[in-house]
Amino acid sequence: MLRTHACGEVSEKEVGQTITLCGWVDTLRVSGKISFLLLRDRTGIIQIFLDKTLTEKYQHELKKESVVLVEGLVNKRPDNQVKREEKTGSIEIAGKGIELLSAAETPLPIDVVAETTTNIDKRLDYRFLDVRREKVKNIFMIRSKVYSKTVEFFDKAGFVAIQSPRLTASGVESGAEEFKIPYFGKTASLAQSPQVYKQMFVVSGLEKVYDIGPIFRAEKSHTTRHLTEFIGIDMEMGFIQDENDVMTVVEEYLKFLLAELKRVCKEELEHLGVTINVPKTIPKMTLTEARTILKDHGKILPDNEDLDAEGERIIGEHVKKRHNCDFVFMLEYPWAKRPFYHMRPEGNKKITKSFDLLFNGVEIATGAQREHRLEILEAQAKEKDIDFSKMTFYRDIFRYGCPPHGGIGMGLDRITQRLLNLDNIREAILLPRDPERLTP
Ligand code: ATP
Ligand code: MG
């Protein structure tokens, strides 16, 4: 490796040692004949003292964001010089030699500073520079842990990781629009859900599966919660009693995820000013109950409708006040709003055994018990005017021994957004795709 230490990891233990650091020039403060170089890498910022000779040689070369290698001696720093932005505040490096590895052009196309006024579109155009900002970097350090802790949870809970195809014939998930692409004289669709496949591999005998991967939705929506490509966290499990078994796993997952994030992302969360409240239990509310609450807020929700964004927000606030919880499972969604494969309870054809999960007043997941009895599934498809006979390989799943099963689809980007109170889902994904954005 080029370096012996990372900037944020040098401590008083190294005092007296000569070390090599690499990083980006955060700031160069020239003060008369000497200067102070604030060198930054992923782990933090460290101060390097440059004497007259080094200052004269490098003061015009060390443009902000240039990449340099610095060799220097670790010294203890007088207390009165300790700066807050530097993690290694109690030590300083006396620069001995500098090598410019890559000069940055000036001016920079966006501000690489703590607080910027550059708009989000410009920032996304230069996302790799935007991520050099501590706040943005922290979002993605946390998102990375959301991903790895999710894998850890499902793995420990006995789920099998599957990676289902993203190039598909046509999807089963009705509703969302598909991206169509030419495929050797045919037309393929980009998967808008791994629904078919996760059911297929429960039925295959793997019993409990999860699939984390991109999901494509050709929806021309311009909201702060929708992307055309996002990362889905999907799971499906067999031999359930009913949809409550799915909710139990999801509750365990969220408790694990949030507790682990609190533990492993302590510094990043603190820097972003985010407090995580790990739920003890997640309250459940039927849409019928929600209708009453919404009515008290002057909002009428008809029987066949599900919650819109405003409805979700009102319910989120209500649950926070009432139960001091950031999450709520919403139950009994109307059949009119759910896909044909959601199971309906005995004796009530108007609702489904499905649920949504809200996090701080926004949907982050939809789940359900699936209909596994072929005759009923066929009848349900017919009710929705779907030609089930054309869905041969989906239909086959139910023909050769299919356990009662259910599952959920969550959004990794949505979870990260809600967790960190980001005002736009685009802040939670490195390179968002939306109807206007296909680059970089
Ligand atoms: P919404 O009502 O917010 O449009 P949906 O009900 O259409 O979402 P589902 O089909 O239930 O979405 O997908 C499961 C989960 O995937 C959602 O709860 C959400 O977390 C995430 N998700 C769905 N669509 C998008 C999208 N366009 N962009 C980002 N995440 C999404
Ligand atoms: Mg949904």
For ligand 1, whether the C-beta of 230 sits within 6 Å is yes
Measuring from atom 7 of ligand 1, which residue has the nearest CA? 176
For ligand 1, whether the C-beta of 409 sits within 6 Å is yes
Q: How far is the CA of 230 from the centre of ligand 1 (A)?
A: 9
Q: How far is the CA of 223 from the centre of ligand 1 (A)?
A: 12
Q: What are phi and psi of 425, to 5 degrees?
A: -60, -25
Question: Looking at residue 104, what is its pLDDT?
Answer: 98
Q: Which one of the ligands is nearest to 414 CA?
A: 1
Contact, 333 vs 367, CB < 8 A?
no
CATH 3.40.630.10 describes domain 7-102? no
Question: Looking at residue 79, what is its pLDDT?
Answer: 59
Measuring from atom 25 of ligand 1, which residue has the nearest CA? 226
Number of H helices, E strands in the chain: 12, 16
Q: At what angle do helices 412-419 and 134-156 cross, to 10 degrees?
A: 120
For ligand 1, whether the C-beta of 226 sits within 6 Å is yes
- Both tokens of residue 310? 């405003």
Q: Which one of the ligands is nearest to 359 CA?
A: 1
Half-sphere exposure of 326 (CA within 13 A, CB side): 16
Using alpha carbons, list the distances in angstroms from residue 1 to 7, 26, 72, 88, 327: 14, 22, 17, 22, 45
Closest ligand 1 atom number to CA of residue 232: 16
Residue 422: exposure state from Cβ atoms within 10 A (0-12, 13-18, ≥19) = middle
Closest ligand 1 atom number to CA of residue 414: 20
Check whether the bond before 214 is cis (ω within 30° of 0): no
Residue whose C-alpha is closest to residue 77's, from 87, 89, 85: 89
For ligand 1, whether the C-beta of 363 sits within 6 Å is yes
C-alpha–C-alpha distance, residues 295 and 40, integer Å: 54
C-alpha–C-alpha distance, residues 235 and 233, integer Å: 7
For ligand 1, whether the C-beta of 414 sits within 6 Å is yes
Residue 329: exposure state from Cβ atoms within 10 A (0-12, 13-18, ≥19) = buried
User: Fold for domain 129-428?
Assistant: BirA Bifunctional Protein; domain 2 (3.30.930)
Give the SS3 label for residue 203: helix
Q: How far is the CA of 355 from the centre of ligand 2 (A)?
A: 9
Residue 208's beta-bridge partner residues?
Answer: 237
Q: What are phi and psi of 5, to 5 degrees?
A: -140, 155
What b/e sequence results for 215-248 when a residue is b if at least 16 CB atoms lie within 10 Å of its CB, and e otherwise? Answer: bbbebeeeeebbbbbbbbbbbbbbebeebebbbe
Q: Rounded to an integer, what is the distance from CA 180 to the centroid of its chain?
A: 26
Q: How far is the CA of 410 from the centre of ligand 2 (A)?
A: 8
Question: Looking at residue 175, what is its pLDDT?
Answer: 60
Contact, 315 vs 328, CB < 8 A?
yes
Report which DSSP code applies to 105.
P
**N-to-C CA span, the chain:** 30
- Both tokens of residue 229? 């490509």
Give the SS3 label for residue 80: helix
Q: Where are the CATH 2.40.50.140 domain residues in the chain? A: 7-102
For ligand 1, whether the C-beta of 315 sits within 6 Å is no
pLDDT in tens, the chain (440 residues): 999 999 999 999 999 999 999 999 999 999 999 999 999 999 999 999 999 999 999 999 999 999 999 999 999 987 555 554 555 678 999 999 999 999 999 999 999 999 999 999 999 999 999 999 999 999 999 999 999 999 999 999 999 999 999 999 875 555 678 999 999 999 999 999 999 999 999 999 999 999 999 999 999 989 999 999 999 999 999 999 999 999 999 999 999 999 999 999 999 999 999 999 999 999 999 999 999 999 999 999 998 999 999 999 999 999 999 999 999 999 999 999 999 999 999 999 999 999 999 999 999 999 999 999 999 999 999 999 999 888 889 999 999 999 999 999 999 999 999 999 999 999 999 999 999 999 99
Using alpha carbons, list the distances in angstroms from residue 366 to 18, 126, 247, 327: 56, 34, 10, 13
For the CA atoms of the chain, what is the radius of gyration? 27
Ligand 1 pocket test: pick from 177, 193, 414 the residue with the most ligand atoms within 8 Å of its Cβ: 414
Half-sphere exposure of 194 (CA within 13 A, CB side): 30
- Both tokens of residue 201? 């591999």
For ligand 1, whether the C-beta of 136 sits within 6 Å is no
Q: Which one of the ligands is nearest to 358 CA?
A: 1
Q: Where are the CATH 3.30.930.10 domain residues in the chain? A: 129-428
Task: Please provide the DSSP assignment of 180-198 as one string.
Answer: EEEETTEEEEE-S--HHHH
Closest ligand 1 atom number to CA of residue 228: 27
Contact, 229 vs 204, CB < 8 A?
no
Q: Rounded to an integer, what is the distance from CA 191 to the centroid of its chain?
A: 19
For ligand 1, whether the C-beta of 312 sits within 6 Å is no
